[in-house]
Amino acid sequence: MLFESTYKMTIFDVVVIGAGPYGLAAAAHLRTIKGLEFRVFGEPMSFWDQNMPVGMFLRSNWTATQIADPDDQLTLEAYQAAHGVKFALPVPIEHFVGYGLWYQRQAVPNLDRRKIVRIESQPQGFGLILEDGEMVRAGRVVIAGGISSFAYRPPEFANLPSSLASHTSEHREFKEFVGKQVLVIGSGQSALESAALLHEAGAEVEIVARARHIRWLGGLFSRTIHSSLGPKLSQLLYAPTDVGPAGISQIVARPDLVRSFPRPVQDWLRKRSIRPAGARWLVARLQNVPMKLGHSAVSAVPFGERLGVRLDDGSDRKVDHMFLGTGYRVNVAKYEFLSPELARSIRCFQGFPRLREGFESSVPGLHILGAPAIWSFGPLMQFVVGTHYCSRALLRRIAGKTAGNQIPVAEPLVAEVG
């Protein structure tokens, strides 16, 4: 046991781990519970600031890019007014980071930036250790730790040095690749946008992807619906949440409805809504980047300072670097801060926690928000827009457990973000 000592330590009702969109929105909502002692730990917006490239644009629409707040005051428009800046769609990453930091200062001013290095279960809740060794206790823990722990590196490339092969999340800037030959693996937004930025930075880029063709979002079908069939029909098929194709978008916008379907339908809705795809505004930027589609890289061997890569058609490439735009695979056991015993007691399906009402895991008092929640609450939870449903559901659960507090009633998500 890590927490056998009798040191005096701070005790909170709730600790939130993470200060990205989900942790911040959760905190802004928990603040409305009178007398609740809670603390948020984490570096605000760190994933967006450190693990996404400079020059990136958000793919989500304006409405879906707003982080939920209980008073609907902390909007992108309010941020623009407060800072005297103007921007439109697609939202540039630096403004989204600026918005998130401003949101944090308004809603969570007493944020503690320290990292949590360990959580373990205790009879009355949880014990947590901070990076500097301080210990705290909490009755409940809300994990909003994001996806950086889940970056997926295919096993055949796992042992290559990072100077030769790296995950897209490892790069903010591309200056070091000027004049270099770079192979980008993948056909999702991260792979395609990294390829565009590398090309624009002056690298010689080739994309290799298993997909036979790139799926571009906002294609002819959806543009026809949006422009030709009028706003009414378009709104009927696409929810403002901006997740999923025509029709399905309206279903996945309602996590309670998604949860009422049999498991195979839920799985189908999720997979149909978050397939690898690229934003349409990347098409022109990639027109001079060669793409080898319908093929995969099967092996890679270092040759001095370069990398030899073999594709499944037997052809070879010699490059300076390989970018793995191979996405993320949720597995909550990979959150290093969970003690092995606690990780084992979270009931999961293929790495996804099985969550119930209020995003509570099978460990009473342990809540998990964001992308790990997509198996239980649907694909919305992989995006900023999921903060609206999620933080209200969390608030209801925690307020409901706190005697004497009023339980706010959540309204349907579609009405909130529309």
Ligand X SMILES: Cc1cc2nc3c(=O)[nH]c(=O)nc-3n(C[C@H](O)[C@H](O)[C@H](O)COP(=O)(O)OP(=O)(O)OC[C@H]3O[C@@H](n4cnc5c(N)ncnc54)[C@H](O)[C@@H]3O)c2cc1C
When the beta carbons of 116 and 309 are compared against ligand X, the nearer one is 116
- What whole-number distance in Å separates Cα of residue 369 and Cα of residue 390? 7
Residue 126 touches ligand X, criterion: CB under 6 A: no
Nearer to ligand X, 387 or 402 (CB): 387
Among 144, 191, 196, 307, binds ligand X (CB under 6 A): 144
| Number of Cβ within a 10 Å radius of residue 403 | 6
Q: Give, as ranges, the residues between 99 and 118 that touch ligand X (CB under 6 A).
A: 115-116
Nearest Cα to 67, choosing from 101, 37, 112, 114? 101
User: Does 399 help bind ligand X (rule: CB under 6 A)?
Assistant: no
Dist CA 121 CA 128 (whole Å): 9
Q: Are 49 and 97 in contact (CB under 8 A)?
A: yes
Residues in the chain: 418
Q: Which single residue is written with the structure tokens 């040759």?
A: 303
291: β partners: 207
Residue 58 is a binding residue for ligand X (CB under 6 A): yes
Tell me the number of residues near ligand X by CB under 6 A.
31
Question: Which of 11-19, 199-207, 226-234, 256-264 is the region at the interface with ligand X (rule: CB under 6 A)?
Answer: 11-19
195 binds ligand X (CB under 6 A): no
38 binds ligand X (CB under 6 A): no
Structure tokens belonging to residue 370? 């964001």
Choice between 111 and 183, CB closer to ligand X:
111
Contact flag: residue 378 with ligand X (CB under 6 A):
no
| Residue 20 binds ligand X (CB under 6 A) | yes
Examine residue 41 and tell whether it contacts ligand X (CB under 6 A).
yes
Q: Pick the stretch among 55-63, 204-212, 253-261, 338-346 that binds ligand X (CB under 6 A).
A: 55-63
* Residue nearer to ligand X on the CB measure, 322 or 417: 417
- Residue 352: partners with Cβ closer than 8 Å, 6 or more residues away: 330, 332, 372, 374, 375, 376
**Helix (H) or strand (E) segment spanning residue 190:** helix 189-201
Q: Which residue lies nearer to ligand X by CB, 266 or 387?
A: 387
Q: d(Cα 334, Cα 296) in Å, to the nearest integer? A: 27
| Residue 139 touches ligand X, criterion: CB under 6 A | no
Instruction: Examine residue 21 and tell whether it contacts ligand X (CB under 6 A).
Output: yes
Binding of ligand X by 370 (CB under 6 A): yes
Q: Does 23 bind ligand X (CB under 6 A)?
A: yes
CB-CB neighbours of 297 under 10 Å: 22
Is 238 a residue that touches ligand X (CB under 6 A)?
no
Point out which span in 51-59, 154-162, 303-311, 314-322 binds ligand X (CB under 6 A).
51-59
Give the whole-angstrom CA distance, residue 391 versus residue 314: 50
Question: Residues 198, 180: contact at Cβ < 8 Å?
Answer: no
Output the smallest distance, CB 140 to ligand X, in A.
16
Output the smallest distance, CB 294 to ligand X, in A: 24
What residues pair up with 324 in beta bridges, in sequence order?
Answer: 167, 185
Does 43 bind ligand X (CB under 6 A)? Our answer is: yes
Q: How far is the CB of 304 from ligand X (least distance, A)?
A: 31
If one asks whether residue 384 binds ligand X (CB under 6 A), the answer comes out as yes
Pairing, β 204-209 against β 291-293: parallel
How far apart are the C-alpha atoms of 184 and 167, rounded to whole Å?
10
Q: Which stretch binds ligand X (CB under 6 A): 19-27, 31-39, 158-166, 315-323?
A: 19-27
| Burial call 44-77: b when 16+ CB within 10 Å, e when fewer | bbbbbbebbbebbbbbbebbbbbbbbbeeebbbe
Binding residues for ligand X, per CB under 6 A? 17-23, 41-43, 46-48, 52, 58-60, 115-116, 144-148, 189-190, 337, 370, 383-385
